[in-house]
Structure 1
């Protein structure tokens, strides 16, 4: 009895004793790590949930801006952790592959065709080196602060929370209750939640479905009653995935389920019973896929693949990416430089849409085109090292989080084979890699270690607050984009001064973006300040020489001054259009714009040649034939002019072109053919008053 009382007294005395400095330091370091992990979780939530309808780029720029701003706070916390705990440099196949990936991104940024785009990303995507630095910071934070597997649940709760929040908005969209009116998107037909695009949301949902399934398979018993919540989340995400109908998500789910099956066999052992259970699960999967294919909107989109113009468009993009890779095999065109070089490689059929492709719509083609063999090898090394680590640890009792991350990254890359990347989903592989690094950190060999420092609490706060100050600088880009939206929506005569003011402020706030200078030029044209407009277009082309439309605007300004006697403007206009052709050699609209400039300057032979090139590249555009016909007519070759218009009507079946053709036929006194052309126009459009009037004019002739 006395022994027990003595032990109790000793225990009470130990509790009363103050903690040693060492234990308090450890406790403080743990607290700072928890703060870092909480900030990383907030970063992930921002990537998925943040949007701002008041700006021009509603989704990606707000996500990039706020994650970049918060990254400064996160960096400050990590600096404190590094000073207090010291920095260890772990080495293992997985860590070496991670270092190689970071080095590859730095190297291909340094060698990029356009380094500004490599660093900051292209407009509408913003996935340059700055964003990847944030993603790397998130991965490193997860590796350092998760204390695997202790805090892995923090990430699970974060992903579950943002999935539920995004799904609430998606359901509202599907029910037609979207509080925001979208100009170019139908949120009811294919909900996109807070991610900005149905393809992005579908890819995200495929990852959530697989992560939920993996958690149930590998941690079902440990979850207890939570497994019902996990199952409900997976089921809800699967239903939404079918509604959103992103075809690539099917590939992601299949890839993820295959990985789950392989890892489950590794974990349980390939016994006869396990194989039979796996076969049963496979059969159930086949049945489920059959139901999806034959009885859901997603299946309808899968069946429509054969005739879908999207498929032919994707093939054109893949072919262009392959040619970029062939011309830049080692380091690619440069990190995130796909949009920079893409116009030089795409066929006219794709370029006719005049839309810059910022992504190859496939991580495989995008990586090859932008980072070459070096990028492909480094990414492959990282994924292989990840898979090997998961395979080796699959039988560990605490491997559930690692195995879930492995299945999730398989779903991401599976669906990403045919989908573009974006701010809202690009964090997924980095978070998964962070979990793998956290798991590997426990046993990885440390080759270097920095000394620790004893920092006062005030010093720690000063470090964090000091770096937090840089966060406010990130908000300027969002303000510039908001001003750009004001300028864009004010581009009409009655509000032109407002557009000029907003556009000027946008270029002052964020002078690096070419689109803002182009908008300023358009606004200045409306207030008849053509000289300033020309200067603005010069700034736009200097920043984005790969965008043909900016060269067209500059060429049009040079034409304006050439028509008013500026002796140097004609040569400047011609040189500008040659630069436009060099930027996009297969773009038919560039040749059409050049033809119009040449026609205005009485270079009829040049106009005819340029318009014929436009027609050869894309025979389906009526306006090309109009310019060619005008050039030939003004040369005095009426027969050739009529032949161009005749060919255009045959190739385009355009009623507007029929009316132009009929007028030229009437001028040439070819009334019989004119009558036939007008009758066909009225057959297609009985209410066409212009055709009826022309037909009445030649009645009896």
Structure 2
């Protein structure tokens, strides 16, 4: 079911790229990093097929989506297999978390914590360069966080990852309790490090200075805390550990970035959502014009040049991924994407993956719900690294099976 939908979506994008409705010519001003104008020449496409208003952009999007799909397939196939050590010593039954799943989740956890740490160091240093090396052209050069030129993207990436790290820690702790491990009781097991990594990752959201990211962080912390309290009755030590980690997140984050974040909440542009309301008004007309088949993947930016009435700036994104998807993919493509996501969550309940405890699914679900909420007010799925990370988590989900009882 998933593959039928994915192939349909790829075919939909490729069809629109090969059926262009317009040819665009961009104009550039010397010394300016972005295009300053665009001219459009209309062509004669097959009207009842998906169309693109910028063939080059849509064709580039097709190759990007194909790469993401192949990455999903490779990750899922790899996770479903066993390591060499497991094949030698195992009884043939797959167990969660297997060696490969642990390698992947440890890598994701360490990487997210490293991104958070680098972003914090940049904030303390005061540099506006990306990784102290590259000039940042976004938002006038202000607001970079780690490798992300847009601070909100950094916060979105971290908010996507820290609940997953918490879920991994929860699973390993549960396994050690079941084994009555001495290393668990003494606090010496490596899984304890995951709690530190999760706290460090989440603290970076505060330091990133993203208002939306911070509000979402608070909501995610509450959701994770409630789930863990309800799912882990009579485990006082566990509850105290979770509470300590969450207090550490707010304490460290507040100490390093609380003052700057509060200044952003007091700024005058909060009422206009940093100009988003103007973009939404102009983009709503675009959604009406391209309601059924869309304008073509990744064609919002050039077309917005002609549609902006309320907004004097030429913005490259709607800052509402749902609205932008409706514009570029139309209702048909939007529905296909929704069906793919629903199918991903259906697989653990009907598929034949590796049995995994419900708490792991719950924490991945919290992470995904968080990024989907933020997508209503920003652009996480327009950022390749966040988009790819989300799809990688989908691969993890489809390799597992909800363990009942």
Q: Normalized against structure 2, the TM-score is what?
A: 0.67
In the alignment, structure 1 residue 414 sits paired with structure 2 residue 368: no
8 Å contact kept, 1:324–1:332: no
* Corresponding residue of 1:241: 205
* Corresponding residue of 2:74: 141
Assess, with a 3 A threshold, how the Cα gap between structure 1 residues 109 and 155 changes in structure 2: closer, same or farther. farther
8 Å contact kept, 1:363–1:419: yes
Q: Distance in 1 between matches of 2:262 and 2:141?
A: 18
Counterpart pick for 2:294 among 332, 340, 351: 332
Deviations along 1:216-258, one digit per CA (max 9) or x if unpaired, are 3444333752332111112112222111111222354366557
How far the C-alpha of 1:319 sits from its partner, in A, is 2.1
Q: Distance in 2 between matches of 1:132 and 1:431?
A: 13
8 Å contact kept, 2:317–2:324: yes
Structure with greater proportional helix content: 1
8 Å contact kept, 2:113–2:197: yes
In the alignment, structure 1 residue 371 sits paired with structure 2 residue 329: yes
How far the C-alpha of 1:379 sits from its partner, in A, is 2.3
Deviations along 1:642-678, one digit per CA (max 9) or x if unpaired, are xxxxxxxxxxxxxxxxxxxxxxxxxxxxxxxxxxxxx
Deviations along 1:399-435, one digit per CA (max 9) or x if unpaired, are 5655544333223222222222222322122111111
Q: Distance in 1 between matches of 2:11 and 2:280?
A: 26
* Corresponding residue of 1:453: none
Secondary structure of the 1:236 match is: helix
In the alignment, structure 1 residue 229 sits paired with structure 2 residue 162: no
1:672-683 matches, within 5 Å, as: none
Secondary structure of the 2:191 match is: helix
* Corresponding residue of 2:119: 170
Assess, with a 3 A threshold, how the Cα gap between structure 1 residues 396 and 145 changes in structure 2: closer, same or farther. closer
Q: Distance in 2 between matches of 1:263 and 1:390?
A: 20
How far the C-alpha of 1:201 sits from its partner, in A, is 0.8
Assess, with a 3 A threshold, how the Cα gap between structure 1 residues 295 and 257 changes in structure 2: closer, same or farther. closer
Unpaired stretches in structure 1, ≥5 consecutive residues: 1-90, 121-127, 442-701
* Corresponding residue of 2:319: 361
* Corresponding residue of 1:317: 279
8 Å contact kept, 2:171–2:357: no
8 Å contact kept, 1:338–1:366: yes
How far the C-alpha of 1:175 sits from its partner, in A, is 2.3
Q: Normalized against structure 1, the TM-score is what?
A: 0.41
Deviations along 1:133-173, one digit per CA (max 9) or x if unpaired, are 11111111111111175322232122123224323432331
In the alignment, structure 1 residue 113 sits paired with structure 2 residue 53: yes
How far the C-alpha of 1:317 sits from its partner, in A, is 1.6
Deviations along 1:245-290, one digit per CA (max 9) or x if unpaired, are 1122235436655775797699x59x9x89xx99xx99x989x989
How far the C-alpha of 1:101 sits from its partner, in A, is 4.1
* Corresponding residue of 1:548: none
Q: Distance in 2 between matches of 1:102 and 1:436?
A: 21
Counterpart pick for 2:167 among 214, 232, 243: 214
Assess, with a 3 A threshold, how the Cα gap between structure 1 residues 311 and 132 changes in structure 2: closer, same or farther. same
Q: Which protein, 1 or 2, shows the higher relative CO under an 8 Å CA cutoff with sep ≥ 6? A: 2
How far the C-alpha of 1:203 sits from its partner, in A, is 0.9
Q: Distance in 2 between matches of 1:296 and 1:169?
A: 19
Q: Distance in 2 between matches of 1:319 and 1:107?
A: 29
Deviations along 1:354-389, one digit per CA (max 9) or x if unpaired, are x3x222112111111111112221222233333444
1:33-52 matches, within 5 Å, as: none
Q: Distance in 1 between matches of 2:308 and 2:124?
A: 39
Assess, with a 3 A threshold, how the Cα gap between structure 1 residues 185 and 95 changes in structure 2: closer, same or farther. closer
How far the C-alpha of 1:132 sits from its partner, in A, is 1.4
How far the C-alpha of 1:103 sits from its partner, in A, is 4.2
Assess, with a 3 A threshold, how the Cα gap between structure 1 residues 309 and 263 changes in structure 2: closer, same or farther. closer
Deviations along 1:428-483, one digit per CA (max 9) or x if unpaired, are 22111111222269xxxxxxxxxxxxxxxxxxxxxxxxxxxxxxxxxxxxxxxxxx
Assess, with a 3 A threshold, how the Cα gap between structure 1 residues 398 and 373 changes in structure 2: closer, same or farther. same
Q: Distance in 1 between matches of 2:8 and 2:300?
A: 21
Unpaired stretches in structure 2, ≥5 consecutive residues: 19-50, 82-95, 177-183
8 Å contact kept, 1:324–1:369: yes
* Corresponding residue of 2:400: 439
The total of aligned residue pairs comes to 330
How far the C-alpha of 1:391 sits from its partner, in A, is 6.7
RMSD (Å), alpha carbons: 4.2
8 Å contact kept, 2:344–2:397: yes
* Corresponding residue of 1:423: 384
Deviates more, 1:159-168 or 1:191-200: 159-168
Return the index of the structure with the highest Cα Rg: 1
